[in-house]
Structure 1
Amino acid sequence: MSIEDLYDDAARERLVAEPPKRVDAPVRLAFERDRARVVHAAASRRLAAKTQVVGPQTDDFVRNRLTHSLEVAQVARDLARALGTHPDIAETAALAHDLGHPPFGHNGERALAGLSVDCGGFEGNAQTLRLLTRLEAKTVDADGRSVGLNLTRATLDACTKYPWGRSEATGPHGVHADGTPRVVVKFGVYDDDRPVFDWLRAGVEGRRRCLEAQVMDLADDVAYSVHDVEDGIVAGRLDLTRLDRDALWATVRSWYLPGADDATLDVALEGLQAVGSWPRSSYDGSRRSLAAIKNLTSDLIGRFCGSVQQATFAAAGGDPLVRHRADLVVPESTQVEIGVLKGVAALYVMQADDRVALMERQRQLVAELVEALWQRGADGLDRVFVDDWDAAGDDAARRRVVVDQVASLTDASAVARHAALVLPAAG
């Protein structure tokens, strides 16, 4: 049985049925077409100018949201292939996983969440679903309404990292870089996007994520835990040979692993340091040092994905690893090691004083931009959002349109729009 045979007609169904392509067009399977649609989406191109951890304009080396997404996609595809699940679905979910992120990354998400309480909140993953099924127009229904990229049910399900609404979300834990408690709750669908969410989750009970979504989520964790550390090393912000364990463990617990004790974290760090390519000397900017970091990156990704692959195969007992027929198994030791690496980046990069000050200015810019657009109404919106504003039936719906507009901007275009709309009024 081929991998395609493990996915039924319901998995390949689209919200709006599409006629066959021309007979002279290249033959592509349904999930290959999904991947192409995400690759060619305007929202994908905009990721190149959106912050990952450090702003994309600060250095030629650091990752932006697009390069991060490409790396997540590579990890997801390789892991999916090794597990026997569909690599196109997992890769497409990985390519799409950050499409809903606003300018300034999680910091912009934090600002918009506070500004949209009265219209259903804001969450990057819920915004991704909204974009894929509404805002990124490729197909319209019989009434002329956009259904977004019109992806298959299996692919949309794989893109749903948090399959629940805001009212069903659990409270946030941990702190932001400035030490304040986190305020953004994790959810995957806004109330007015419920119809398409219910369609894509047809036949699925509760919060269970499909295997392909679990692969995407792990690939994201693996990629940014490793690559954020790599970026921090090259930027001169951290040195893996000189880690302050007390400060590191405090950060790991406050950000990621609240229940981990020192002994558990010590074992995890010692396991990472035992990797043959772990640096024994400080980074000096030479090609030799760059090569050493790349080898470490490769070894860590292989270490994490290898442990998950083995644990998942052992638990599956030979059953097909597709959709809702199996779950990804991440050993606790691997979870802790990933958490330690995330803590390294959080302590030395995200909590740095200069970055905390910049983040405060970014949140202020987003708040001022939302207010300026709210006051201007349709006159301040891009053409694609004007119809949404005109069709909105109340202030909450109009507020959502403003949030959609701001979320669509890149870092640079948010700054430019702010300069055009806010600074002249302030002067």
Structure 2
Amino acid sequence: MEFDVTQLGFGTGARAPWAENPWASRGRLVPEPSSPTRSEFQRDRDRIVHTTAFRRLKHKTQVFVAHEGDHYRTRLTHTIEVAQIARALARALKLDEDLAEGVALVHDFGHTPFGHTGEEALDALLADAGGFDHNAQSLRIVTKLEQRYAEFDGLNLTWETLEGLVKHNGPLVGEGAKPVPEPIVDYNLKHDLWLASHAGLEAQVAAIADDIAYNTHDIDDGLRSGLITLEMLEELPLIARLLADVRHRYPGLEEPRLIHEVMRRQITVMVEDVIGVAQANLAAVKPQSADDVRHAGRTMAHFSDEFVAADRDIKAFLYRHLYRHPDVMRVRANATRIVQDLYAAYMADPAAMGGRHGQAGVGDWPVQMRAREVRDYLAGMTDTYAIAAHRRLFDHTPELR
């Protein structure tokens, strides 16, 4: 969709009426004095970057396990790319860039080792204890498990950042909604995050930035691995059009440069489409505050119909040719076994976890409580730590190659 360049926020420093105002935040669960040098959302972003959970993303799988190659994306590099796109969208739409960036930086904190494979395995293992949801785990990390500050557990982030973390994909309560995960229900009882409404626009752009980022870089990593070829991409109309444009403009361009030129164009056209759609929605709804966006009854930042179809085609292509490729599935099966083995070992002997998770008495807790403690420990592991832990406890550890 085309956008109105005269309405972009680049270089203006202007904040639109529908943007969040960091000087009028709904505050933090534990009141704190304001900073003379940083806005509330800047402080949130900085706290997120300085966490243990953020550093752990370096060794958590995106698609390819870390030791398969140094140049593949990890959860950390994916997160940084999402934050860059979210910030660009926020600037164009005159939003609070720090809040959009903060939500993007924290959105994958709750992911397990081995990417979605680990999440699916843990969800199945915890079926009788509420299952596993990485958004809920992200909230648990930033409100409970990060224990760094003298006056509170977690990071004591603002209401707006927590709301964006929990609801960036839409309302959690209402028609057609799935049951709300227990960690979100528990926190919401003491700090109401308005689970029935949409999130602010900053969180919405962080969510669509996630789609743009992984649609692009998973193709890039697939090409790098050899599991996807440029010829295979011809079946995707959007990518085929971009390929043709680059080949016409730069005949004979060597493949690495060709791939990069296509990938950067893919990000650009998707970002521009979202800007155009958001501008049209904002013009129709005419929100005069961030809460007007929340109560608009629909998402404001999303793809046009044309790009919804392109997004669907790309995802289906990636599932068919990358995520379900036999080589990837073999690694996924072995990663699943590692998570299953560790879960069984820690349920049988919680002391093996060590630290606060393996504290005396955990083994006497009811099964569901013990399972949640194992969940927190396992979900916090990196790929490398999980593999090392398995080697300590078992005679044979599956190869993730």
If the length of structure 2 is used for normalisation, what is the TM-score? 0.83
**Contact 1:372–1:422 under 8 Å retained in 2:** no
> What are the equivalent positions in structure 2 for 1:249-398 lying under 5 Å apart?
269-275=236-242, 288-317=254-283, 318-319=286-287, 322=290, 325=293, 327-377=300-350, 379-386=351-358, 390=362, 394-398=366-370
**Contact 1:50–1:102 under 8 Å retained in 2:** yes
2:211 partner letter: D
1:222 aligns with 212
Deviations 1:68-107 (A, max 9, x none): 0000000001001111111111111111111100010000
**Contact 1:388–1:401 under 8 Å retained in 2:** no
| Matches of 2:153 and 2:47, distance apart in 1 | 13
Secondary structure class of the residue paired with 2:110: coil
1:104 aligns with 114
How far residue 386 of structure 1 moved from its aligned partner, in angstroms, is: 3.9
Deviations 1:379-401 (A, max 9, x none): 21241424597599532111100
Percent identical pairs in the alignment equals 32
2:201 partner letter: L
How far residue 333 of structure 1 moved from its aligned partner, in angstroms, is: 1.1
How far residue 328 of structure 1 moved from its aligned partner, in angstroms, is: 1.7
| Matches of 2:186 and 2:360, distance apart in 1 | 18
1:196 aligns with 187
How far residue 320 of structure 1 moved from its aligned partner, in angstroms, is: 5.0
The counterpart of 1:164, out of the listed 136, 158, 172, is 172
Secondary structure class of the residue paired with 1:18: coil
**Contact 2:234–2:240 under 8 Å retained in 1:** no
**Contact 1:238–1:348 under 8 Å retained in 2:** yes
Higher relative contact order by CA 8 Å / sep ≥ 6: 1 or 2? 2
> What are the equivalent positions in structure 2 for 1:42-81 lying under 5 Å apart?
42-81=52-91
Cα RMSD of the aligned pairs, angstroms, is 3.0
Pick which of 209-218 and 39-48 moved more.
209-218
Deviations 1:341-365 (A, max 9, x none): 2233222221111211221111111
**Contact 1:277–1:295 under 8 Å retained in 2:** no
Uncovered stretches (5+) of structure 1, i.e. residues with no partner? 171-186, 246-268
Deviations 1:321-352 (A, max 9, x none): 74652622421111111222223322222111
| Matches of 1:153 and 1:280, distance apart in 2 | 48
Pairing 1:400–2:367 present: no
Uncovered stretches (5+) of structure 2, i.e. residues with no partner? 1-13
Pairing 1:92–2:106 present: no
1:417 aligns with 389
**Contact 2:22–2:41 under 8 Å retained in 1:** no
**Contact 1:85–1:321 under 8 Å retained in 2:** no
How far residue 169 of structure 1 moved from its aligned partner, in angstroms, is: 4.6
How far residue 168 of structure 1 moved from its aligned partner, in angstroms, is: 7.6
> What are the equivalent positions in structure 2 for 1:2-151 lying under 5 Å apart?
2=15, 6-7=20-21, 11-20=25-34, 27-139=37-149, 146-151=152-157
Going from structure 1 to structure 2, the CA distance change for 1:382 and 1:92 (only over 3 Å counts) comes to farther
**Contact 1:272–1:278 under 8 Å retained in 2:** no
How far residue 295 of structure 1 moved from its aligned partner, in angstroms, is: 1.7
| Matches of 1:391 and 1:211, distance apart in 2 | 45
Pick which of 48-57 and 349-358 moved more.
349-358
Going from structure 1 to structure 2, the CA distance change for 1:195 and 1:350 (only over 3 Å counts) comes to closer
Going from structure 1 to structure 2, the CA distance change for 1:397 and 1:3 (only over 3 Å counts) comes to farther
Pick which of 350-359 and 67-76 moved more.
350-359
| Matches of 1:139 and 1:392, distance apart in 2 | 30
Going from structure 1 to structure 2, the CA distance change for 1:391 and 1:96 (only over 3 Å counts) comes to farther
- Alignment coverage as a number of residue pairs: 370
2:85 partner letter: V
| Matches of 2:212 and 2:276, distance apart in 1 | 16
How far residue 305 of structure 1 moved from its aligned partner, in angstroms, is: 1.2
Going from structure 1 to structure 2, the CA distance change for 1:296 and 1:321 (only over 3 Å counts) comes to farther
Secondary structure class of the residue paired with 1:383: coil
Secondary structure class of the residue paired with 2:242: coil
If the length of structure 1 is used for normalisation, what is the TM-score? 0.78
| Matches of 2:20 and 2:75, distance apart in 1 | 32
| Matches of 2:321 and 2:126, distance apart in 1 | 31
Deviations 1:277-329 (A, max 9, x none): 66659xxxx99322222221211111111111112111212535746526224
**Contact 2:246–2:261 under 8 Å retained in 1:** no
Going from structure 1 to structure 2, the CA distance change for 1:79 and 1:106 (only over 3 Å counts) comes to same
| Matches of 1:316 and 1:392, distance apart in 2 | 55
| Matches of 2:370 and 2:176, distance apart in 1 | 24
Deviations 1:100-131 (A, max 9, x none): 00010000000000111122110111111111
